[in-house]
Amino acid sequence: MPLPFFNTAPAPVQPEETALLDSLPAGNEFAPPPQGRVAAPARQAAGLEWRRSHEPVAYDHSLRVMEERVAAIVAGHGQELVWLLEHPPLVTAGTSAVDTELLEPTRFPVHRAGRGGKFTYHGPGQRIAYAVLDLERRRRDLRWYVHNLEEWAIRTLAAFGVQGERREGRIGIWVTMPGGRECKIGAIGVRVRRWVAYHGIALNVAPNLEHFSAIVPCGISEHGVTSLADLGIQATMADVDRALRCSFPGLLAP
């Protein structure tokens, strides 16, 4: 059954190309288009491909694949893509990244991602779900889309008995640890080109949490980072992939 937020999302916006933070700002940075603008004709649906990589994927390769798929969808002949993968240890820098938040600049390779957000660590034990999706087939509303990406992560975590939560003014997906400390377990970053969204979500399954000390994760220094393994949940990537796929249809399927 659709959740209430489907009916209460803010007004849609109209980008040509936009990089988004994990949580969109409350102001008018993404204002509606001028009245009278004619919507582009709907692109022809070409289906949705689910892809799973069993070995770590180089970041530059994944970005190239996503950008090529975006171009194909915009041209009207590309399949949408959900790609489940891991990266080798690396750091990605979003469009709001600040150099002082890269605490160990030579420890891991750093890639300029083009997505919204700040610095994010990726590495083995973290499930990346890249989603290249045509918002023309769903809803031309970036806030709605980011909210549904967050909900996708939250419902996936719920399959393992973990209560993931949003926090006002704090990007990502959070859990409350014993004792009340709040730690981040998931990250979200998006870029949109001609109403095709790409990048997606990252869930900490069993990464080396010490690696996150190389950065200020997503620009937030006063809170920690956790994972399913850190919470005592022994989930395999296959388990997480099943939960991601089961959670997807009610939220992001066209």
Task: Give the per-residue pLDDT at 132.
Answer: 98
pLDDT at 22 over 50: no
Residues 110-146 have pLDDT tens digits of 998 888 788 889 999 999 999 999 999 999 999 999 9
pLDDT at 157 over 90: yes
Task: Give the per-residue pLDDT at 53.
Answer: 98
Residues 236-254 have pLDDT tens digits of 999 999 999 999 988 998 8
Specify the higher pLDDT residue, 10 or 149: 149
In SS3 terms, 174-243 reads as EEECCCCCEEEEEEEEEEEECCEEEEEEEEECCCCHHHHHHECHHHCCCCEECCCCCCCCCCCHHHHHHH
**Measuring CA to CA, which residue among 231, 230, 208 is closest to residue 125?**
208
Mean pLDDT of the chain: 83
Q: What is the dihedral of CA 153, 197, 249, 175, to 10 degrees?
A: 10
pTM for the structure as a whole:
0.82
**Tally of CB atoms within 10 A around 133:** 26
Domains of the chain in start order, with CATH, are 13-23+50-252 (3.30.930.10)
Q: Are 217 and 148 in contact (CB under 8 A)?
A: no
| Share above pLDDT 90 across residues of the chain, in percent, rounded to a whole number | 63
Mean pLDDT of 200-213: 96
Catalytic, out of 218, 235, 240, 243? 218
Task: Give the per-residue pLDDT at 102.
Answer: 92
Q: What does the alpha-carbon distance between residue 72 and residue 84 come to, in Å, rounded to a whole number?
A: 20
218 in active site: yes
pLDDT at 7 over 60: no
Task: Give the per-residue pLDDT at 220.
Answer: 60
